[in-house]
Amino acid sequence: MSSTPTESQSPKGKGKEKLPSPDAESPKANGHSEPSNVLAGAHWVETDLPGEDDTDADSTLGSDAESSTASLSSSILHYRTINGRTYHSDTVTDGEYWGPNDEKANSLLDVFHHSMTLMLDGELYTAPIDGEKCEKVLDIGTGTGLWAIDFADKYPNATVIGTDLSPIQPTWVPPNLRFDIDDASREWTYTPSSFDFIHIRWLTGSIKDWTALYKEAYRCLKPGGWIEHLETEGHVDSEDGTIHDKTALSQWDVIWKEGGRRSGNPVEILEKNLQARGMEEAGFTNIKVTDYKTPCSPWPQDPKQKELGLFIYAVFTMDLEGVMQFMFNNIMGWSPEETARYAAHLRRELKDTKQFHPNMTWRIVYAQKPLDAED
């Protein structure tokens, strides 16, 4: 399997070629039936698992989650609890973000950070910035803050700010780093033209209007500053046909697309080229798109790809129920039994590295605010 990333770049300046238009957005579903390509939750309950054992099929949604921190006085810490898992406070967000914010979910984010640094051969970014000259850097959706911590450690002269919906970051951090609780989908409160670099990573299914987000970034960047956004979507495929439309791995994509349609948060970020299009509409130039295809399990023979596949596999499986619960149960209307059964099928396919060879694509898009941009 080739690990060489593929790239494309828009021409510089005002005469740059227009990026392709996405399909028209589907209306938000209100109790509509599932599209014909989405296999219903009952399908996975009725389908036998080869060599099934009780471990994979058991429904343990939320049984080992951390307890709610609602006893703390700050409203930020009054987390919502669903099936024993805690989610970001309604006082910060509109209550539609699909990911939990408890210890188990945070461990997944730490593994995700490591997998992305493996993918980038140890680098923290790909944009043509000089970290030594950066005075102020913003990390949107910082999660557990590892990217911001690593950047602040590497470039101690830069002031680094990480933002997220919950205070889940460590308190022992480099002196040039701080964390703010903020919803990036709302108007940003940072000083216009104040940042040298803005970094965004893995906000799939949490943003309704990507162009509006990029406009806020454009406003807060200095002229000549750079934005970089790493993203993926649910599409899983294979080069040898081992992933077909009836596999659980293939259904992952269509289920999340339908959930995104119903919630109003589009997840077809790569398919509709939302990053590059949104950055162009916001006013950015020098837009560069690079795709990285990675294995979803340790099926490759190449040692580096096998290691990368192992960590992507861990991202997929270490908190699968937590990742699925809100989207599948609350948005799609599946029962806990159906969700757990589908998760068992998904795990089974990921574990079977002889029969299934899944890949997924991660896209990095970076762009520059023009040097002659008006403040």
How confident is the model over 1-27, as a mean pLDDT?
A: 46
Decide which of 116 and 330 is more confident: 116
Which has the minimum average pLDDT: 7-16, 38-47, 148-157, 181-190? 7-16
Which has the minimum average pLDDT: 67-71, 190-194, 199-203? 67-71
**pLDDT grade for 83, boundaries at 50, 70 and 90:** low
Could you give the CA distance from residue 208 to residue 31 in angstroms, rounded to a whole number?
A: 20
Look at residue 13 and tell me whether its pLDDT is greater than 50: no
Q: The dihedral of CA 39, 341, 313, 210: what is its sign?
A: positive
**pLDDT grade for 65, boundaries at 50, 70 and 90:** very low
How confident is the model over 205-233, as a mean pLDDT?
A: 95
- Within 13 Å of residue 282, how many CA atoms lie on the same side as its CB? 28
Name residue 181's beta-bridge partners. Answer: 164
The reported pLDDT for the residue numbered 223 is 97
pLDDT tens profile 271-318: 999 999 999 999 999 999 999 999 999 999 999 999 999 999 998 888
Look at residue 231 and tell me whether its pLDDT is greater than 70: yes
The residue among 235, 239, 232, 237 whose CA lies nearest residue 254 is 235
Could you give the CA distance from residue 120 to residue 303 in angstroms, rounded to a whole number?
A: 16
Q: What values do phi and psi take at 109, rounded to 5?
A: -65, -35
Cβ–Cβ < 8 Å for 124, 154: yes
Could you give the CA distance from residue 114 to residue 124 in angstroms, rounded to a whole number?
A: 10
How confident is the model over 333-356, as a mean pLDDT?
A: 92
Which has the minimum average pLDDT: 61-75, 221-235, 264-278, 330-344? 61-75
The residue among 236, 363, 232 whose CA lies nearest residue 287 is 363
What is the DSSP-derived secondary structure letter of residue 245?
Answer: T
Contacts (Cβ under 8 Å, ≥6 apart) of 169: 142, 143, 144, 145, 162, 179
Which has the minimum average pLDDT: 49-63, 162-176, 303-317? 49-63
Work out the percent of the chain whose per-residue pLDDT is above 70. 76
Look at residue 240 and tell me whether its pLDDT is greater than 70: yes
Contacts (Cβ under 8 Å, ≥6 apart) of 245: 37, 251
Look at residue 112 and tell me whether its pLDDT is greater than 70: yes
Contacts (Cβ under 8 Å, ≥6 apart) of 171: none
CA distances from 359 to 96, 152, 169, 241 (A): 28, 32, 31, 11
**pLDDT grade for 101, boundaries at 50, 70 and 90:** low
